[in-house]
Amino acid sequence: MKITPNVVVQNKTINYKLTLKNTSNIESIEVLSRADYYHKDTLKYKIKNNTILFAYKMPHLGEFVVKVNFTYKESKIVSLYCLDENMIQLRPLKGDLHMHSTYSDGRTSPFALVLASLEAGMDFLSITDHDNYEGSQNAIEKVKKNNIDILLLAGEEVSVGGKKDMSVSQGNGHILSINANKSIENQRKDSKKYEKELEEIVKLLKKEKIDKSIDSSHYAKNIWVINKIKEAKGISILAHPNWVYRDGKYHLHQAFYKEMLRSSHLDGVEVFGEEKIKEHNNMTHLTALQTKNKHKYLAPFANSDAHDSDHEIGDRFTIIFVKEKSTKGVMTAMKEGLSCAIFKRENYEHQFIGKDALAQYVYFLIKEYYPKHSSLKSRLAKLYIDQLINAESFENKISMVKKKLEDHTNSFYGIEN
């Protein structure tokens, strides 16, 4: 049984088409709200060419169920979702903003990571090699050259204390630089300028009255990285803040973490990432979301932290809601906190971290929208790979799959072609 549209706006009469193989012996059709326990209406409908037609105005936000009751067999149900006038204008994009290639400690090329991510259903992506900006630039160049249908953002995972901190736990942690127009690590090469800028930050921190237990000269390195990302027009996302490192300590000094949340210098926090001790990493949201009412809301992100093309890509990802499918659209959505972090658990269960309304909506999309979306994205990736291997143009087949992706989205949101 299928219904269109699947997502509608609140308090507006919508015309629905409900198709099922056998429309005989229908006793009644009801609509029920999952959010409002008491809401249930019996619908007036007509049947035309095995298609049930009805009109209805959704009075509540959230998920609804249309229930078809039969005289001699069990009822069938299909789900709908009702949004407000602002959210109905936005579209979901699925992405991963943390992975490593051979430009740092990864085991495959940047372009191979791109194709593997597309096969896993991603719409946007960033290659974030350790203290290296060139891996992401290589990927962007290859995507443009081969006309791959994925939004690729420049990226770099910055070791706050410098390259020596990449493999040694010194309490500094890592920060993802997303879509910055230059490398952050390269700006430390002028050591005199770097040290002078740190001194200026320390002076400002003393005026801000940060936690007395924090060594300001040590903490200043975090603020320097974030400032440089902002200057380069990028977004700063704190990577795996609760990672327990080899010495048994948190890789990031937790007082630094809390101070960065309090001062709102960051744009987001990675709440799910590749960790050997996942239960520690998953505590992240408990702190991140406590800032919602006291300070700036920090957008949650889930990333694979992949080091190979078959390394857990698709197990953790972020869904954002954009006004337009473009780099600008992605950046705006992240800055506005329109993100939901998802961890795909065993037995196809998922864990969601985000604002309540977004998380509930994403849960619906994972069930109803993404199965077909992911299947088509996987097909698209395979066509690109075949095209590259065979040195033969598959443009017609690629165009057909891209059209199916567009039609799927338009049908889901009730947009006429």
**Which tokens sit at 197?**
């800028």
Task: Give the contacts of 409 (CB within 8 A, at least 6 positions apart).
Answer: 91, 373, 415
List C-alpha distances in Å: 184 to 96, 134, 395.
20, 11, 38
Class of 2-86 in CATH? mainly beta
pTM: 0.94
Q: What residue spans define the domains of the chain?
A: 2-86, 90-368
pLDDT of residue 265: 81
Buried b (16+ CB within 10 A) or exposed e, 303-334: bbbbbbbebbbbbbbbbbbbeeeeeebbbebb
In 3-state terms, what secondary structure has residue 16? strand
Per DSSP, the residues of 74-135 read --EEEEEEEE-TTGGG-EEEEEE--B--TTTT-SS-HHHHHHHHHHTT-SEEE---BT-SHH
pLDDT of residue 142: 96
As a CATH number, domain 90-368 is 3.20.20.140
CA distance 276 to 399: 41
Neighbours of 1 (CB within 10 A): 12
Q: What is the pLDDT of residues 334-391, one digit of tens each?
A: 999 999 999 987 666 788 999 889 999 999 999 999 999 999 999 999 999 999 998 8
Q: What is the pLDDT of residues 79-125, one digit of tens each?
A: 999 999 999 999 999 999 999 999 999 999 999 999 999 999 999 99
Question: Would you say residue 283 has pLDDT above 70?
Answer: no
CA distance 248 to 186: 31
CA distance 350 to 346: 8
